[in-house]
Structure 1
């Protein structure tokens, strides 16, 4: 995500978490402004849905095995799955 200096400054002043901004970009309701820009807002319904999903993800993160993702250099996903044994040397 690219941010202007102004946006970076405002996010810091207002204690807005980077991940919440990403969620707004991914799942926010888009409202077009008169000057052609997009305003993105997370509705209450979407925030509740995301909160439920995040609770599920937290449960998965606490499982011992976890998952893996194999990618190319440009981050194209080749395959993914659940870890059943120790993989290559962990970084």
Structure 2
């Protein structure tokens, strides 16, 4: 997935491992943010799918990163962060 320099900087500052960004891209749920971009995050179903593919032990060990999210616009990640609130659905 293509990332802007801003997204790479935020990923580093917010200590989100590249593996989590990859998993978000593959397994994450996508919701429109109402401004033309998408928020990609882990929900219960995406965590279950990831657990089935990667294994329960791996998911348990890396569970602290499952509050991470991506904001994607035009197939580019524009920022990376940690969720502190629920994602509002449209």
- Larger % of strand: which? 2
**Partners of 2:52 and 2:46 in 1: CA distance:** 10
Q: RCO higher in 1 or 2 (8 Å CA, sep ≥ 6)?
A: 2
Paired residue for 2:38?
A: 38
**Partners of 2:6 and 2:42 in 1: CA distance:** 21
**TM superposition outliers: structure 1 runs of 4+ over 6 Å:** none
Paired residue for 1:54?
A: 54
Q: Which one has the largest radius of gyration?
A: 1
Given the two structures, how large is their TM-score scaled by the length of structure 1? 0.53
Query: Mind listing any 5+ residue stretches in structure 1 that lack a counterpart?
Result: 59-91
Alignment of structure 1 residues 61-76 onto 2, 5 Å: none
Paired residue for 2:18?
A: 18
**Partners of 2:33 and 2:49 in 1: CA distance:** 26
SS at match of 2:3: coil
Query: Mind listing any 5+ residue stretches in structure 2 that lack a counterpart?
Result: 59-90
State whether residues 27 and 49 of structure 2, in contact with CA within 8 Å, keep that contact through their aligned partners in structure 1: no
Deviation at 1:27, TM superposition (A): 1.3
SS at match of 2:54: helix
